[in-house]
């Protein structure tokens, strides 16, 4: 189901268009997972996010390693920067040694990346962990909003990144476990977003060092 237009709630979501959204959840129903500043401009962040959840680029490789993604297969981006680029990524993740969990699980990630004007970037990410208990019954839906810092004069001064998460259930199969599933899934979403922000800052720092001229 596709979302409608309009930015919804306050804060960092104000002014964000959801026309063509991957999912219909309202801003007010989402939980904020992360709010941080990153030392890179909007163009550099967009290039990094084009490699998210796959092994294209330094950031993507680091993130896959951190999240334990194996056998990663990423589809091609379809669409346009203005209306939104979309693709699907699949991979396999090893599960922790806990009762009821398989040794590994398939993971499917839908992504939508859209540049909204010169100062805003929206990434939508929907994650399905298929082989865990009730894994076919819910999806974790995220919205990542990056705003160019005002001091940057159009994006050179870094970006403010905020991430919201929501657990969408399909049918009533997981109804009795919904509260526990939601709590665990949101915690995992926050952990992944925090790791991604840390790696984005690390990559930006490394690239800045590489661009510095050698000492005389």
Query: Which pLDDT value is given to residue 213?
Result: 56
Query: Which pLDDT value is given to residue 211?
Result: 54
Query: Which pLDDT value is given to residue 12?
Result: 54
Which has the closest alpha carbon to 135: 165, 97, 164, 93? 93
Give yes or no for residue 215 having a pLDDT over 70.
no
Query: Which pLDDT value is given to residue 15?
Result: 78
Q: pTM value?
A: 0.87
Distance CA 125, CA 27 (A): 14
CA 144 to each of CA 3, 132, 160, 186: distance values in angstroms, whole numbers, following the listed order: 15, 25, 10, 14
pLDDT digits (tens, 9 = 90+) for 81-94: 889 999 999 999 99
- Cα–Cα–Cα angle for 91, 165, 29, rounded to 5 degrees: 140
> What is the DSSP pairing of strand 84-94 with strand 104-116?
antiparallel
pLDDT digits (tens, 9 = 90+) for 180-192: 999 999 999 999 9
pLDDT digits (tens, 9 = 90+) for 96-146: 999 899 999 999 999 999 999 888 999 999 999 999 999 999 999 999 999
Give yes or no for residue 10 having a pLDDT over 80.
no
Query: Which pLDDT value is given to residue 6?
Result: 43
Report CA torsion sign: 76, 19, 141, 57.
positive
Average pLDDT over residues 165-189: 91
CA 197 to each of CA 4, 97, 125, 129: distance values in angstroms, whole numbers, following the listed order: 28, 27, 15, 22
Q: How confident is the model at residue 7 (pLDDT cuts 50, 70, 90)?
A: very low
The helix (H) or strand (E) run that includes residue 211 is: helix 178-211
Q: How confident is the model at residue 50 (pLDDT cuts 50, 70, 90)?
A: very high
């Amino acid at each position: 189901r596709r979302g409608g237009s309009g930015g919804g709630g306050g804060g960092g979501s104000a002014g964000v268009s959801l026309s063509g959204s991957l999912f219909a959840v309202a801003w007010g129903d989402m939980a904020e997972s992360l709010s941080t500043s990153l030392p890179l401009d909007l163009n550099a962040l967009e290039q990094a996010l084009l490699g998210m959840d796959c092994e294209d680029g330094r950031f993507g490789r680091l993130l896959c390693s951190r999240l334990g993604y194996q056998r990663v297969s990423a589809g091609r981006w379809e669409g346009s920067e203005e209306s939104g680029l979309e693709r699907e990524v699949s991979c396999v993740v090893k599960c922790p040694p806990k009762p009821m969990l398989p040794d590994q699980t398939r993971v499917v990630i839908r992504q939508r990346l859209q540049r909204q004007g010169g100062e805003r970037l929206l990434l939508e990410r929907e994650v399905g962990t298929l082989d865990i208990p009730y894994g076919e019954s819910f999806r974790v839906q995220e919205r990542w909003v990056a705003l160019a810092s005002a001091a940057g004069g159009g994006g050179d001064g870094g970006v403010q990144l905020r991430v919201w998460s929501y657990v969408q259930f399909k049918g009533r199969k997981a109804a009795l476990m919904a509260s526990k599933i939601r709590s665990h899934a949101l915690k995992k979403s926050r952990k992944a977003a925090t790791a991604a922000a840390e790696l984005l800052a690390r990559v930006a720092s490394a690239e800045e060092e590489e661009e510095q001229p050698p000492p005389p």
